[in-house]
Structure 1
Amino acid sequence: MATQADYDRLGAWAVMLEPGTDIDRTTCRRTVPLEVLSLGMPRTGTLSMQEALSMLGYPTPYHYVSIFENARDADMWIPALRAKAQGRGKPFGRREWDQLLGHCGAVTDTPCVYFWRELLDAYPEAKVVLVERDEDKWFASCEGLLEGVLNPFAVWVLRFTDPGWFGRINNCSLLWIEAFFGTANLAQAKRNARQAYRAHYAAVRATVPKEKLLEYELGSGWEPLCEFLGKRVPEVKFPKRNEAKTTQAALGTLLFKAFRHSLTNVAIVAVVGTVVGGSVWRILF
């Protein structure tokens, strides 16, 4: 049973400790305006930015952790990633984004940031926040993320023994890594990471009009963000999450939950197999 310490340790990732929702986003529509696109790469304070945007009143800012809460989101992200990165299927337009992100007033983190051009086209009125990090520090953090996601046991075992939850999440992770870094091979993804990082920031800066873009530096507090967004400065400190530490704890919890699901799934298959096998034996013999 999860304790308060578990929730504190996992932060936003603590949604994994809950049963989760089962929402089919294809049945949804936009209910709130999407006003902010926070387009910093993963591992650039996206958890802190998600919390900050929520505190400023933007409903349910989307982050990769949102998929852990509603794994069925992956059923839309996966075809979107395949369409853009692999040319398989129809690219998403405003209708599909309203279905998938219609409950969100802001977005941050992957896979949203991979679709930054598409989201800009769909929501031209949205303001853009770009958080960059020292490249060496980002790369060190990104390495840990890649190693966790591309863990062979996760990719080759748990993805198949827990298809309903972990399989969806991991398939989505593999696709966004391949999309961003050109490969889901761990060694090659690390080699490609720095160039992918530079290319992303250069492209966003070259595309977004200056008056719609805030280059925000973590640690600079509420003032520049609130001034840019036209929001009142909160009377509390700007959230600061240790993403490396939190994500490491989350990966452990993720694998444990997937393993627990897998044991249940394997047991069910074994029981069904035994019953069916016994019935066939009695019929034939």
Structure 2
Amino acid sequence: MATEADYERLSNWAHMLNPDANIDRRNCQRVVKMEVLSLGIARTGTLSMQEALTILGYPNTYHYSSIFANVRDADMWNTALRAKYQGRGKPFGRQEWDQLLGHCGAITDVPAICFWRELLDAYPDVKVVLVERDEDSWFKSCCALIDGVLNPLGRYVLRYTDPYGFGRIINCGGLWIEGLFGSIDSARAKANARAAYRKHNSEIKATVPHDRLLLYRLGSGWEPLCDFLGKPIPEVPFPNRNDSRTLELAFKHLIARTVRRSLINIAVVFGGGAVAFGAVWKYLAR
């Protein structure tokens, strides 16, 4: 049973509760400087890092949960993911990244970290933070994430009954999992996850100049991050968000909300169909 503390942690996924902004980012441009790429793979404290970077003054730090605030973002992410991993369409360059992330001073989490090389090319002066976590604890948490994203109810039912909202978002989840872990089959994705984690981290370490890279160990607090970024240490505890319990609650809340929306969509479709059928029947009976 969910406790009051559970719902306080779930408040970090408040985007789920707010109206969709419905912004077409392709009509946008860069309005703030991109300064920090936090490139730790999913389940390395990415939501905590989002909040930490926000506290330090970086505007609109982008995280997967940001898509819930503007579902049309998923359309651009899905286009970028298909171009990168499936060779379908033109890869994103500086123009597209400025459109999609032009309001952001920093990024963290998937799907953005899938494009770390592209973002480094687009923003060569950024500072890079690589958050690392004990591999065994990361793997356990990542498996729960994979199971949540690839849940059969979501993939085979709800993405079709709520195509505008959940469908777009879960398609993005499937694309980044297939891109990073090589499969949208849950068992295969898990089997590939450890190697993908090591490869992701080692390639970043081999690519980013040492003076622009902070290797941050999860749980290290404010000091190493603030020293690296040249920021004063905030007078608040370092955030600790999105633990396994919170992730579980987030998925449950998302599924429950999507089921409600799906029932409304189904009622509208069948209600409209019944009205149309009645009109046709009445016409033919004249």
TM-score normalised to structure 2 length: 0.96
The Cα shift of 1:15 comes to: 1.5
Unaligned 5+ residue runs, structure 1?
Answer: none
Query: Where does residue 172 of structure 1 map in the other structure?
Result: 172
Counterpart CA distance in 2 for 1:242 and 1:175 is 22
Over 3 Å counting, the alpha-carbon distance change for 1:6 and 1:282 in structure 2 is farther
Alpha-carbon shift at residue 12 of structure 1 (Å): 1.8
Q: Does 1:257 align with 2:264?
A: no
**Is residue 226–residue 232 contact of structure 1 (8 Å, CA) maintained in 2?**
yes
> How many residues get paired?
283
1:93-108 aligned at under 5 Å gives the runs: 93-108=93-108
**Superposition pairs for residues 26-45 of structure 1, below 5 Å?**
26-45=26-45
* Runs ≥4 residues deviating over 4 A: 4-7
Alignment check: 8 A CA contact 2:9 2:241 kept:
no
Please list the CA deviations of residues 176-228 of structure 1 after superposition, one character each: whole Å capped at 9, or x if unmatched: 01000111001110111111111100110110011100001122211111111
Distance 1:5 1:141 in 2: 20
Q: Which residue of 1 aligns with 2:144?
A: 144
Q: Verify the 8 A CA contact 2:131 2:217 in the aligned structure 1.
A: yes
Give the drift of 1:232.
1.0
- 1:125-155 CA-partner distances (Å, limit 9, x unpaired): 1000000111110000001011111110110
> What do residues 90-127 of structure 1 show as CA deviations (whole Å, max 9, x unaligned)?
00000000000001000000001000000000000100
Q: Aligned partners of 1:230 and 1:185: how far apart in 2?
A: 43
Tell whether 2:280 aligns with 1:280.
Answer: yes
Q: CA deviation at 1:230?
A: 0.8
The answer for the alignment partner of 1:197 in structure 2 is: 197
Name the SS for the 1:20 alignment partner.
coil
- State the partner residue of 1:219: 219
2:239 matches 1:239: yes
Distance 2:140 2:218 in 1: 17
For the pair 1:25 / 2:25, whether they are aligned, the reply is: yes
Write out aligned runs for 1:62-211 (5 A). Answer: 62-211=62-211
Amino acid aligned to 2:38: S
Superposed displacement of residue 243, structure 1: 2.3
Q: Is the 8 A contact 1:38 1:130 kept in 2?
A: yes
Q: Aligned partner of 1:23: which letter? A: I
Q: Distance in 1 between matches of 2:242 and 2:266?
A: 36
Tell me, in whole angstroms, the C-alpha distance in 2 between the residues paired with 1:170 and 1:249: 17
- Aligned equivalents of 2:190 and 2:71: distance in 1? 27
8 Å CA contact 1:11, 1:246 repeated in 2: no
- Structure 2 CA distance for aligned equivalents of residues 12 and 92 of structure 1: 29
How high is the TM-score relative to the length of structure 1?
A: 0.97
Please, which runs of 5 or more residues in structure 2 have no aligned partner? none
Change (3 A) 1:25 1:157: same
CA distance in 2, matches of 1:95, 1:7: 39
CA–CA separation in structure 1 for the residues paired with 2:218 and 2:178: 27
Identify which range, 7-16 or 39-48, moves more after superposition: 7-16
Aligned equivalents of 1:165, 1:7: Cα separation in 2: 23
* Kept in 2: contact 1:36–1:129 (CA 8 A): yes
1:11 is displaced (CA, Å) by 3.1
CA contact (8 A) 1:6 1:14 kept: no
SS in 1 for 2:275: helix
Aligned pair 1:228/2:241, yes or no? no
